[in-house]
Amino acid sequence: MEEMDNVVVLKDENGVETEFEIITDLEVDGNVYYILYPLDDEESEEAVAMKVDVDEEGNEILSEIEDDEEFEKVASAYEKWLETADEEEFEDEE
């Protein structure tokens, strides 16, 4: 994982690199997750959730969320974050 400010570059299993913007980080059940949006695909409005892990060398790495229950908890936390962000944006406009 290569990181620049709020942008990360991830490689898929075929070695193809994609840039993602980190929208927010969420803490769920003591774990940290990043919510990412792809920068290369402007038509996509779908966020990607990745778990922040630490490798043997102490480096931060991003892992896919493989457990359905864990994913649902993160998705729920993200929906709550979106609602709060929308409310704050509305208040700022007044």
pLDDT in tens, 23-63: 999 999 999 999 999 887 666 678 899 999 999 999 999 99
Instruction: For 11, list phi and psi in degrees, rounded to 5.
Output: -105, 135
Q: Which residues does residue 3 pair with via DSSP β-bridges, in sequence order?
A: 8
Domain boundaries, the chain: 2-93
pTM (two decimals): 0.79
pLDDT tens profile 74-88: 999 999 999 887 666
Amino acid occupying residue 54: V
